[in-house]
């Protein structure tokens, strides 16, 4: 089983080490000092008191790797469109794409059913390029719950968690998704195969859509956002708007708003990914975590005043810092693209 991890940063590196240790044929696509370190010294994972080093193929030229059985995309979602062309040599007739990214994935409306079947979302897939050129029919959904970080070039620290729920857009338990899940489990990971993968996508996004932009605006950690009355109330308002949109698409939430906020509070003094990106001068994941929810609200006619205000402020903050390269506004909901 040939597996390429495209974007071998903190999460991709963690997966790379674990899957390589389980005996999978792993290749990593990376760049810069991280790639140079992996080539020279291998890829090292620090987890608890244990240290593991593997020596997989590493490259910044995907064409060197040939056709893959699975491509696990662990890039930030806003970066995927920029690598469509270089990904093409990895794609064969049976290659599956595993979207281990935050937010709504490009394939969301594939095998969805209803009025939005095969629709594309401009805020996350401008012009529908990912849908057409990577292929919605190749997709397997994956939600990323572990916390990891690059401690030094070529060195990944695992902080907590090992859960990677998987699922076909159709909800079927296919041989492909079962084979991938079995490999993840053999690598010491949790990989439940879900028949409603979109429910899990929204459950994670439910927190990201509010906590991430609020943290970027206030520099507050999760415990502060969830206990301060004003930011907790704002988070709740955005989550209520988000839930109304998701439920229009048939999504079922297995916890309520207050329980979801409390779960975030218990994480403690954690900086969200958006705040970390802001502090490190990296583009923030505004569109796949926030703008896309606004766009889907406009598609369904559900107003999002709380989300709109926070999105406007965090987008302006990112533009001023030179950290925003996404769309200016969502697509016109009356001009819905269908792949």
Q: Please identify every residue annotated as catalytic.
A: 204
Distance, in Å, from the CA atom of 117 to the CA atom of 103, rounded to the nearest integer, reads: 19
Q: In terms of C-beta density within 10 A (0-12 exposed, 13-18 middle, 19 or more buried), how is residue 61 classed?
A: exposed
DSSP state of 253: -
> Around Cβ 179, how many Cβ atoms within 10 Å?
14
Distance, in Å, from the CA atom of 38 to the CA atom of 54, rounded to the nearest integer, reads: 9
Distance, in Å, from the CA atom of 266 to the CA atom of 301, rounded to the nearest integer, reads: 34
189 contacts 181 by C-beta, under 8 angstroms: no
DSSP state of 271: P
Q: Which residues pair with 139 in a beta bridge?
A: 97
Cα 83-85-88 angle, rounded to 5 deg? 105
For 28, the 3-state DSSP assignment is: strand
| 151: alpha, beta or left? (left if phi > 0; alpha if psi -120 to 50) | alpha
What single string gives the DSSP state of each residue in 85-119?
HHHGGG--TT-EEEE--SSS-TTTTTT--STTTTE
| 307: alpha, beta or left? (left if phi > 0; alpha if psi -120 to 50) | alpha
256 contacts 308 by C-beta, under 8 angstroms: no
For 149, the 3-state DSSP assignment is: strand
State the helix-helix crossing angle for 257-267 and 229-248, rounded to 10 degrees. 130
């Amino acid at each position: 089983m040939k597996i390429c991890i495209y974007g071998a940063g903190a999460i991709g590196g963690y997966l790379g080490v674990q899957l390589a240790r389980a005996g999978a044929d792993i290749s990593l696509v990376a760049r810069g000092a991280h790639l140079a370190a992996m080539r020279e010294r291998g890829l090292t994972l620090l987890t608890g008191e244990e240290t593991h080093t593997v020596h997989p193929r590493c490259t910044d030229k995907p064409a060197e790797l040939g056709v893959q059985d699975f491509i696990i995309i662990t890039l930030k979602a806003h970066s995927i469109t920029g690598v469509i062309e270089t990904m093409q040599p990895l794609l064969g007739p049976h290659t599956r794409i595993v979207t281990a990214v935050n937010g709504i994935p490009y394939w969301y409306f594939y095998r969805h059913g209803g009025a939005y079947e095969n629709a594309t979302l401009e805020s996350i897939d401008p012009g529908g390029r990912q849908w057409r050129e990577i292929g919605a029919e190749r997709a397997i959904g994956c939600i990323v719950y572990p916390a990891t970080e690059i401690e030094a070039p070529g060195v990944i620290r695992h902080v907590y968690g090992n859960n990677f729920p998987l699922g076909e857009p159709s909800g079927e338990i296919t041989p492909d998704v079962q084979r991938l899940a079995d490999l993840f489990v053999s690598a010491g990971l949790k990989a439940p195969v879900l028949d409603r993968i979109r429910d899990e996508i929204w459950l994670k996004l439910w927190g990201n859509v509010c906590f991430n932009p609020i943290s970027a605006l206030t520099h507050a950690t999760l415990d502060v956002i969830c206990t301060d009355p004003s930011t907790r109330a704002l988070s709740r308002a955005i989550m209520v708007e988000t839930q109304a949109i998701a439920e229009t698409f048939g999504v079922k939430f297995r916890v309520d708003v207050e329980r979801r906020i409390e779960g975030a509070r218990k994480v403690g003094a954690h900086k969200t990914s958006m705040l970390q990106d802001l502090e490190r001068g990296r583009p923030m994941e505004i569109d796949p975590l926030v703008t896309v929810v606004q766009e889907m609200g406009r598609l369904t006619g559900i107003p999002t005043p709380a989300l709109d205000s926070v999105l406007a402020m965090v987008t302006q903050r990112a533009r001023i810092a030179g950290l925003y390269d996404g769309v200016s506004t969502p697509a016109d909901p009356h001009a819905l693209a269908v792949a």
